[in-house]
Amino acid sequence: MGIGPEIEPRERRRATTRRGLPLPPGPGFSLDRLAGFRRETMPWTMRAVARRWPGVAYLGVPGRHLYLVSDPDLVRQVLVTDGRKVDKGEALRTANIVLGEGLITARRARHLPRRRLVNPAFAHARMAGYAAGMLDAARATDARWRDGAHVDLSREMSRLTLDIIGRTVLGAELDWQHVGRELTIAMRGWEALMVPGGAWYLKLPLDAPRRFWAAADNLHAVVGRVLAGDTADSVVTEMRKARDDGAALDDAAMHDETMNLMLAGHETTALALTWAFWLLAQHPAEAAALRESLPDGDPGYGDLRKLHYAYAVVAETLRLFPPAWILERELEQDLSLGGWPVPIGSTVLASQFVLHRDPRFWPSPDSFVPARWLDPDGRFSEDNPGVPRGAWYPFGAGTRICIGESFAWTEAVLALAVLARRWSFRVDPGHRMALHAAITLRPAGGLPGTVERVVP
Ligand code: HEM
């Protein structure tokens, strides 16, 4: 799957910025490289660049200073210690045309007060209630599957996590087919926005841009209907109650935050589960170990802390196929990164895919080894691999760290525990797995295969 050897050092025409600041080495820009840009190979290209130019690499892109950092300390510097000197990059900021101004897209200055208002909805004390919805949704999937049925597993997991978002975040039932379809179209439009000229393309009177705007409108209409109706206990009801220094979320803020959560909370976890089933399908011994580790009978929220192997499978999946595979920050001040002066306005990339597979920290970095997350007593901890903190950050770090982190762990571990207990997944023979790396890391063309009942 790797394409590392294709990356050759090349002479850069310009070794300094316009202000005369020296530029770190890197692959430079060429038209043939641009022509070779493929979403399938992008993560591997990033990894090859990081190996060839470790620390800080300069990715020459016309009109843009773009850097890739690949040392854990530099990742932490950009996301955490200098987190107040950077803002979200263009890709996430521009998403506000679909998502509105919510936690994902908010500029730094507006982010913190918002985050304080949304945080209580994700407090630990709320998790048991949400877990009940997660378990019900997973059981509904379990009840729906038929032995030998041919499915697209990524679609199944998308349906499952949308069901969970409906039950726990919105407190309302969602028409998963309608919302799933519109979310997919909206995500494609967002991807188009990330490509130079994307915003311009989306204004053209063509079918695809029209569908994109219609999907965005339809999603806003879904959120509007949910918020106008009665919502059961959920993230939405908690957000409605939230007060901070007398401030509350007004109607527009409620709408945009709900939209942000619907999008951020659905696809990422669906992908984590999809990749987990794909990896388990390739590794029957680990799939059997998972099954044997699960309690007899239906797992419940009270079992969560005992599901060590399921946690290890989820962690190892997030390591190898981080659904958020790269983070982008734009500098609001000059910074020094690894001794290189990086000017204000530059974009810095920090890729989880690259750091999570760095052989300096992870033995057998490309292998699926859930056991690396377990101590000798078989207990899971994120500390067990003993890697520096910036080498493991599937949920980001610093002030913009994922608000749904423990929600997602609970959801993924419980769903896996319910489904892997009775089902295994067999990928279609001949199916070629390829990556589609955009905002998230997806299996290109979904994941076709058969669900097979392992326990009668
Ligand atoms: C495996 C599942 C998930 C992964 C891998 C993931 C990953 C991430 C990452 C890496 C970020 C930081 C982005 C950045 O710094 O640019 C983020 C932010 C965010 N995530 Fe998640 N996420 C997951 C699940 C969820 C869930 C379930 C929800 C909500 C129900 C959620 C809501 C959010 C929100 C609102 C933000 C923005 C937070 C802020 O800036 O304050 N995520 N997520």
Q: How confident is residue 34, by pLDDT bands cut at 50, 70 and 90?
A: low
Average pLDDT, stretch 297-312?
95
Report the candidate in 454, 437, 341, 447 with the shortest Cα–Cα distance to residue 44.
Answer: 437
Which 8-state DSSP code applies to residue 374? Answer: B
Domain segments of the chain as ranges:
4-453
Which residues are within 8 A (CB) of 325 and not within 5 positions of it... i.e. 6 or more apart?
Answer: 43, 351, 352, 353, 437, 440, 441
**Structure confidence by residue, pLDDT tens digits, 177-223:** 999 999 989 888 877 777 767 777 778 888 888 998 999 999 999 99
What is the pLDDT, as a whole number, of residue 30? 67
Q: Which of 190-204, 270-284, 289-303, 313-327 has the lowest mean pLDDT?
A: 190-204
**Structure confidence by residue, pLDDT tens digits, 265-286:** 999 999 999 999 999 999 999 9
Name which residue leads in pLDDT, 39 or 314. Answer: 314
The residue whose CA is least distant from atom 26 of ligand 1 is 265
Q: How confident is residue 15, by pLDDT bands cut at 50, 70 and 90?
A: low
| Domain covering 4-453, topology | Cytochrome p450 (1.10.630)
At residue 58, does pLDDT exceed 80? Answer: yes
Among the atoms of ligand 1, which is closest to the Cα of residue 114? 41
Share the mean pLDDT of the chain.
91
Average pLDDT, stretch 369-387?
98
CA–centroid distance, residue 267 to ligand 1 (Å): 10
What is the pLDDT, as a whole number, of residue 196? 67
Which residues are within 8 A (CB) of 369 and not within 5 positions of it... i.e. 6 or more apart?
Answer: 316
What is the pLDDT, as a whole number, of residue 14? 47
Most confident segment among 29-33, 100-104, 119-123: 119-123
User: Which residue among 402, 403, 440, 441 is best mutated to probe the pocket of ligand 1, counting the most ligand atoms within 8 A of its Cβ?
Assistant: 402
326 neighbors 46 (Cβ within 8 angstroms): yes
Pocket of ligand 1 (CB under 6 A): 88, 92, 103-104, 115, 169, 260-261, 264-265, 268-269, 272, 323-324, 327, 394-396, 400, 402-404, 407-408
Length of the chain: 456
Name which residue leads in pLDDT, 196 or 115. Answer: 115
CA–centroid distance, residue 265 to ligand 1 (Å): 7
CA–centroid distance, residue 104 to ligand 1 (Å): 8
Question: Exposed, middle or buried, 197 (CB in 10 Å: 0-12/13-18/19+)?
Answer: exposed
User: Which residue among 268, 314, 392 is best mutated to probe the pocket of ligand 1, counting the most ligand atoms within 8 A of its Cβ?
Assistant: 268
What is the pLDDT, as a whole number, of residue 336? 97
